[in-house]
Amino acid sequence: MSRWHSPMLVVDFKYNIIRIHRSTLDALGNPEYVEILVSPKHVRIGIRAHDKQTITSQKVNSESLLHQRSIQLYSTDLARELLEINPKWKNDQIYRMEGVLINSENMVLFNGMDSELIHSEEYATAQ
C-alpha cells in the first residue's frame, strides 16, 4: 500500500488541529461518526468508527471530503493532551503518522512514537 493510501493522521500543534485523512476513513468503511481514543502510556492514538452518535463521537463531515483530503477537528484541549503523551513532540509543529487497521475493533491505531515531523510549507502544498 502506498504512503498516500495508508491510513494517515496529522496533528498540527500550531493550530490545534487533528486531521483524519480520507485514507483512514476509507479503511474504516467511511463511517458517519468517529471517536478518538488516546493511550498515553503506550503513546497510541486510535480512530474508531461509529454508525451512530455517542457522547464521545464526532460527526464526519463527508461534504468536506469532496474538496479536501481530510476532515479537520479543532480542539485546543485535545491537542494539548496529545502534546503531553510524546516527549519528542514540540509545540507549533506538525506531525504525521501512518496507522494500522484493527478490523476486530473497527479502529485504526497510530503509534505516536513513529510520527514524522513535517514542515508547514510541505504539508500545505500536499493539501
Q: Provide the pairing of β-strand 116-118 with 70-74.
A: unpaired
3-state secondary structure of 41: coil
Place of cell 504512503: 3
Pairwise CA distance, residues 82 & 89, whole Å: 9
Residue pLDDT, tens place only, 86-118: 999 999 999 999 999 999 999 999 999 999 999
Domain extent, residue 86, equals 3-126
Residue pLDDT, tens place only, 53-97: 988 888 998 777 777 889 999 999 999 999 999 999 999 999 999
Number of structural domains in the chain: 1
Q: What is the pLDDT of residue 51?
A: 87
Q: What is the pLDDT of residue 1?
A: 45
pTM of the model: 0.86
